[in-house]
Amino acid sequence: MRLIVQYLGPIQVKLDKKEEEINVDQGLSLFSLLRYLSESYGDWFGNEVLENNEKHLREGVLVTVNGIASGQIGGLEAKLKEGDIVTILPFFAGGG
């Protein structure tokens, strides 16, 4: 299935890419998608997004699917569907 993956923050800077369309297996989970991207780009990607490469987002990283935070759609176990837009954003509180 086709998915659109969007990158913000340090990942965007490192990949020099804001968005891309990828093709993956039907019904892939969010976690599996992140692992797939980590395999494509290198360990640093996994370390940036996941806590010790476990099924747990690193603090300060948000992942949304069609704008909704992963926590609200069943976490990293959530199954993706055709045309979903997955966004990986740095998020941290405070600031001025």
Partner 1 sequence: MQAYTGKILHVDLTTGRSKIQTFDDAFAKMYIGGTGFGIKTLLDNQKPGIDPFDPENPLIYALGAVCNTMVPCGASKFGVFAKSPASNLLGEAYSTGQWGAELRSAGYDILVIRGKAAKPKYIWIDDESMQLMDASHLWGKTAWETEETIRKDLGDEYVRVSGIGQAGENLSRIACLINDHFRAAGRTGLGAVMGSKNLKAVAVRGTYDTCVADVPKLQEFCKDLYERARGPKTSKYRTLGTAANVLAMNKQGALPTRNFQAAMFEGAEKISGEYLNERYVTKIEGCSACPMRCEHIAVVREGPFTGATARIEYEPTMAFGSNCGVDRMDAIIKSVELCDMYGLDAISAGMIIAFGMECFERGLITTQDTGGLDLRFGNAEAMVEMVRKMAFRQDIGKVLADGVRPASKAIGKGSEAFALEIKGVELTGYDIRGLKTAALGYAVSRRGADHQRHGSYGPDMDGRVDRFKAEKSRGKIVVGDEDNYAIFDSIILCKFSRGIWNGYDEIAKIYTMVTGIPYTGEEMRKTGERINNLARIYNIREGLTRSDDTVPPRVMNDPIPSGVSKGSRVTQEDLDILLDGYYEARGWTPEGVPKSEKLKELDLEGYESILAGKRK
Q: Which residues bind partner 1 (CB under 8 A)?
A: 6, 8-10, 12-13, 47, 57-60, 62, 64, 67-73, 87, 89-96
For partner 1, the closer of residues 25 and 54 by Cβ is: 54
For partner 1, the closer of residues 15 and 27 by Cβ is: 15
User: What single-letter DSSP state applies at residue 80?
Assistant: P
Distances from the Cα of 59 to the Cαs of 22, 40, 62, 63, 84, in angstroms? 26, 22, 8, 11, 23
CB of 32 to partner 1, least distance (A): 19
Gyration radius of the chain over CA positions: 13
